Each structure stands twice: as C-alpha cells, then as structure tokens.
Amino acid sequence: MRILYLSQYFPPEMGAPSARVYELSRHWVKNGDQVTVLTSFPNHPTGVIPPEYRGYRFLEEEKDGIRIVRTYIFAAPNKGFFKRVLSYISFMFSSVIQGTRKVGKQDVLIATSPQFFVGIAGYFISRLKGIPFIFEVRDLWPESIVQLGQLKNRWLIRFLEWIEMTLYRKAIHIVGVADSTVDILTARGVPAEKITIIKNGVDLELFHGNGDSGALKEKYGFGGRFIVSYIGTHGLSHALDRVLDTANLLKDERDILFLLVGEGAEKENLIKKARELNLQNVKFLDQIDKKQLPDFYGLSDIILVTLRDLPLFRSVIPSKIFEIMAMARPIIISVDGESRRLVEEAGAGVFSQPEDASMLKEKILELKNNAQWRKQLGANGRKFVEEHFDRNKLAAQYQRLLHRLIKHGTNDA
C-alpha cells in the first residue's frame, strides 16, 4: 500500500508531531508499505531554517526508506500569532500546489494536526488525487488557541469551527491520540465508530538506561546536585513561569538545580524573570537533538511535565511522558485530567496542581527526601510502557487499521 503522510513537522525538527510521523512511517516501511511524507522545510520552533536546507523551495530526500517531499514554507518562530498563522497557511498552499503532483500515485492520505490547515490541505490533495482522506487529530483547533487567548473574534471562531467539523465529516476515519478525543468529538456529532485512538508510544531501544549522563554532568559542572528537569517547548501553554516561582521558593536548598532545556515563544521572558529573581538555582540550555534526550533524562533526578490550568489540557497526553517512563525516571505531572490518570495508573509519578508553585515545591522535596520511592516510581514507569506503549506495537496496530479501511472502503475500524 502507498501511504501519503502530510505533516508540517518532520525531523530534524524536534517535538511530538515530527517524532510520531517519522517513527510510524519507519515501521510501516519495514513492514512492506511505501510511505511518502509531504512536509515543509525544518524551522520549528526558532523560525530558522538549517543551513543545509536554505535556498530551496522544493526538495526530495530519503530517510530509512521513507520518501520525503519538502515544499515551501514561510519560516516563522513559534511566537507571534500572525506570523505563525502565515507560516501555517504558506505550507497549506505549497503542499497542495507543489506537492500534489510531485508525490505521485498514492492509495491513502493521512493529514496530521496540531493545526488544521494541514487538514484542509490534506482534504484538497485527497480529492485531487481521488484517494481516501484520514484526519489524525493531535490537537483540537480552534479550541486550543481560543482557550490560550490567542483568538477572540467570535465570527472567526465560528468560521474555523465550521471548517473543523467539515474536516471531520469529509474524513473516512479520524485517528486520535487521547481517549478523551472520543467523548469530545461524539458530543459534536461525530460517530464513535469513525474514531480510533492510537496513542503516542516510545522507542524502547532509544530510551533506556541512563544514557551518557555522567559525561553531561561533568561537561556542565552539575556535580552531585539534585536535578529537577523540564525538557521541551518553552511556550505559552507550559506554565514555566510558575516553575521559576517554585525555584524561587527553593533557592535556599542549594543542592537543587532546575534545568530547563529547549526553545519556545516564552524562553526570553523566562530568562528575564530568572535574572530579575536572581535565581542561581536555574540553568537554561538550548534545544537538543533527539538522540541526546536519553542523556538529559538520565542525569535528571525528577522530570517535570507541566501545562497551564485550562480545561483544554485535561484531554491531552504530552508524548514526553512515555519517554520519561521508558528512562525509568520519576515524574511530577502538573497536568490534570487524562495525563494525570495515565501517570497515576502506571504508578510512575506524583501529581501537583497545575500552576501551583507552593504545591510543586512540596512534591519536589517529598521525592528528594525519598530515593527509594523515586527508584520505584521509575521502575513502575518502565514496566508500564513496555507493556502498553511500545511504539512498534502501536505502529503495527495503526498499519492494520489502514489496511482494513482501504480494503473495505468504509469507516469501520
């Protein structure tokens, strides 16, 4: 079967969308299908295209048997609403105009969010090529940008919601990544039988052991400090200003170091706040390559997963949770709802109320003072992902779904 996977994000970009598309595609190729990924030029989250990709408006590559077709994008950093939307729209048009002919003959198209301009492009390409359209819903647009306060015009919101529902109707099937997606979409009139949940998993071969954490500690001079890490996007959604408030509450605990690794729209503001508070117990590092993630997870004594206290985030599962579990590290989950339930079911971490700096302080101290508890939480997490979230097994499940849908030509999974 020839699978066309449409995603704005793909390696070498970091993040859950690119990792999911790459790892699923790699598995499908190994199992005999042909996969073409239609994507843009890497620039997320900085808005800077790497030197090896500059000067191109179109490019074809191959990686691990995956054919990669890159079309033009207006590169923009992950901050500033207007420029980001221009970036989304530019890829929507370029993928249709440049990509439709270049990708060749295909049997099925999967368009993956987090923003539904990719879904619009996917639907048009599927119609132009006369192939089925599957919509992979990783993030609910426009609800997410409305709750974050980035969109307030009610007429525009209604128009975008109409587009959203149109895409749900036009897709032959919808694939979600969180169980709560079923309840949300069925409440809007989408038939439950049209939805399948295939959660993000983890590459258990990449994420295991401690990585080369000893060398990293020596490189950065961390010594024997107790390291509380946040690794990922520094965005509006992530409530990292409250993590800095917690660091301020713990600044007399001189052996605790808060390590924040990554890039994002709020990073400059966070660095400024840390300076204003004179936080000597906080260190910022730039975004790292995915292959370095096990090393940074390995040097961490506790890893934070944080989001703002919004209803929207009660129905999401950050994919880093599975990576942290695989690395047998204890989690402080500062996200309520489905993510909290998952971590508590696994026995892999403790919950701290989102955006509550004082509660986060107490949870950090509780775990710091109980090494055996931390070790047990980590072991529980590793066992849980081995049993339930091996990405190879989830990719095989997804591949079987695709074959059934194309064979029968129905919405039945």
Label residue 35 left, alpha or beta by phi (over 0 means left) and psi (-120 to 50 means alpha). Answer: beta
Residues 263-311 have pLDDT tens digits of: 888 999 999 999 999 999 999 999 888 889 999 999 999 999 999 998 8
Q: Is residue 413 included in any domain, yes or no?
A: no
Whether 111 and 122 have beta carbons less than 8 Å apart is answered as yes
Mean per-residue pLDDT, 144-166? 67
Tell me: do 338 and 400 sit in the same domain.
Answer: no
Q: Is residue 208 included in any domain, yes or no?
A: no
Tell me: do 300 and 184 sit in the same domain.
Answer: no
Residue 209 binned pLDDT confidence (cut-offs 50, 70, 90): confident
Tell me: do 273 and 131 sit in the same domain.
Answer: no
Residues in a beta bridge with 4: 36, 109
- Give the type of residue at 317: I
CATH number of the domain to which 242 belongs: 3.40.50.2000
Tell me: do 183 and 225 sit in the same domain.
Answer: no
- Report the domain count for the chain: 2
pLDDT for residue 412 = 39
- Give the type of residue at 45: P
Tell me: do 132 and 225 sit in the same domain.
Answer: no
Q: Is residue 207 included in any domain, yes or no?
A: no
Tell me: do 116 and 234 sit in the same domain.
Answer: no
Tell me: do 147 and 249 sit in the same domain.
Answer: no
Strongest mean pLDDT among 30-39, 161-170, 197-206, 310-319:
30-39
Whether 66 and 22 have beta carbons less than 8 Å apart is answered as yes
Q: Is residue 206 included in any domain, yes or no?
A: no
Q: Report the distance separating Cα 60 and Cα 76, nearest Å.
A: 22
Tell me: do 167 and 220 sit in the same domain.
Answer: no
Q: Is residue 186 included in any domain, yes or no?
A: yes
Domain range for 374 is 213-388
Tell me: do 74 and 61 sit in the same domain.
Answer: yes
Tell me: do 246 and 181 sit in the same domain.
Answer: no
- Give the type of residue at 3: I
Q: Is residue 184 included in any domain, yes or no?
A: yes
Q: Is residue 265 included in any domain, yes or no?
A: yes
Residues 47-74 have pLDDT tens digits of: 889 999 998 999 999 999 999 999 999 9
Q: Is residue 165 included in any domain, yes or no?
A: yes
Return all residues near 269 (Cβ < 8 A) that are at least 6 apart: 241
Tell me: do 167 and 33 sit in the same domain.
Answer: yes
Tell me: do 261 and 356 sit in the same domain.
Answer: yes
Whether 86 and 76 have beta carbons less than 8 Å apart is answered as yes
Nearest to 391 by CA among 290, 319, 313, 318: 319
Token pair 């939480």 in the structure block, residue: 377
Residues 174-206 have pLDDT tens digits of: 999 888 888 888 988 899 999 999 999 999 988
171 alpha-carbon distance from chain centroid: 22
Residues 69-122 have pLDDT tens digits of: 999 999 888 766 678 889 989 999 999 999 999 999 999 999 998 777 899 999
- In this predicted structure, the answer to whether residue 382 has a pLDDT above a threshold of 70 is yes
Q: Report the distance separating Cα 247 and Cα 18, nearest Å.
A: 31
